[in-house]
């Protein structure tokens, strides 16, 4: 609810926003995550459904185009399949929480044969809380990922008269992660909470939307990946050292959302 409250307040408090457009709604995503070794072998996989909420605020900026602030939060537990550090198979659940914030700038529309084209750029902040639950043979492992994401993309839209559908839009993005890091909670083994820098790699996203009056239906797909991290040496309280490293990984989030515009 905090996300909706902030956007509602901004729609009345920021100057020059008489034409502000607000949208709030629900989202249901399917999350897939995979870690791989240098040889391409799979270390572990996570998959499951993540319900959540989303909101956005858009407003025009004179003749320069428009600005959109958006955010979403998805959360639930997902299935974990992998192996322990000793190589034994491990099956458990992972409490997952993903929070996305984005600032999108769009240029004025370019019309061509009843189609509307809009070039866009985007900057995003991503947070992912990953809490791998303990089993009878393993301890809990909590990891907090954080990264920035830059995007270059565009959309094509068209007004239609097809049943209840007033218009449709397709949107695509080329993305790149920046300054990705993960904070690993190793306090259960007296090794603190080291932060590890992750390698950056390109990603992509796509969505298709249909508009029916004030209601928007959309399906989406978002792909991102991290490169293998450097090895970090961690000192344990009471003596001893650990080598901590994150393997290369890739993630997919696909699903659909329904929003109400006002």
DSSP track, 44-74: EEEEEEEEEEEEEEEEEETTTEEEEEEEEEE
How much is the pLDDT for 10? 42
Q: How far apart are CA 201 and CA 153, in angstroms?
A: 17
Q: How far apart (Å, rounded) are the C-alpha atoms in residues 55 and 216?
A: 12
pLDDT of residue 199: 79
DSSP annotation string for 173-212: EEEEEEEEEEEEE-GGGT----EEE-EE-EEEEEEEEEEE
142: three-class secondary structure by DSSP: strand
Candidates 260, 207, 185; CA nearest to 29 is 207
**Cα(211)–Cα(219) distance, integer angstroms:** 12
> DSSP letter at 228?
P
**Residue 236: predicted pLDDT:** 87
Token pair belonging to 171:
């949107």
- pLDDT by 10-residue block (mean), the chain, 262 residues: 42 52 97 88 93 96 89 98 83 97 94 94 97 92 96 96 90 94 93 91 96 96 94 86 91 98 90
Contact 179, 145 (CB under 8 A): no
CA distance linking residue 218 with residue 196, whole number of Å: 35
pTM exceeds 0.75, yes or no: yes
Quote the pLDDT of residue 67. Answer: 95
């Amino acid at each position: 609810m905090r996300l909706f409250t902030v956007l509602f307040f901004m729609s009345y408090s920021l100057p020059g926003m008489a034409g502000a457009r607000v949208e709030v709604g629900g989202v249901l995503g399917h999350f897939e995550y995979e870690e791989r070794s240098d040889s391409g072998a799979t270390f572990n996989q996570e998959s499951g459904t993540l319900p959540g909420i989303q909101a956005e605020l858009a407003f025009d900026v004179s003749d320069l185009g428009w600005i959109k602030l958006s955010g979403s939060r998805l959360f639930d537990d997902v299935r974990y399949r992998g192996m322990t550090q000793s190589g034994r198979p491990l099956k458990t659940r992972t409490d997952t929480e993903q929070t996305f914030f984005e600032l999108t700038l769009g240029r004025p529309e370019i019309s061509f044969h009843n189609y509307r084209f809009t070039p866009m750029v985007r900057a995003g902040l991503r947070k992912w809380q990953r809490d791998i639950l303990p089993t009878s043979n393993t301890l809990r492992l909590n990891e907090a990922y954080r990264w920035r994401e830059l995007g270059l993309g565009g959309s094509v839209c068209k007004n239609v008269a097809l049943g209840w559908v007033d218009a449709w839009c397709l949107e695509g993005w080329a993305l790149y992660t920046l300054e990705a890091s993960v904070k690993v909670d190793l306090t259960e083994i007296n090794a603190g909470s080291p932060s590890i820098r992750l390698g950056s790699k390109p990603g992509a996203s796509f969505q298709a939307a249909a508009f029916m009056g004030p209601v928007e239906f959309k399906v989406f797909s978002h792909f991102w990946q991290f490169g293998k991290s450097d090895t970090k040496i961690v000192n344990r309280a009471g003596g001893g050292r650990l080598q901590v490293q994150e393997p290369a990984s890739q993630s997919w989030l696909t699903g659909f959302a329904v929003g109400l515009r006002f």
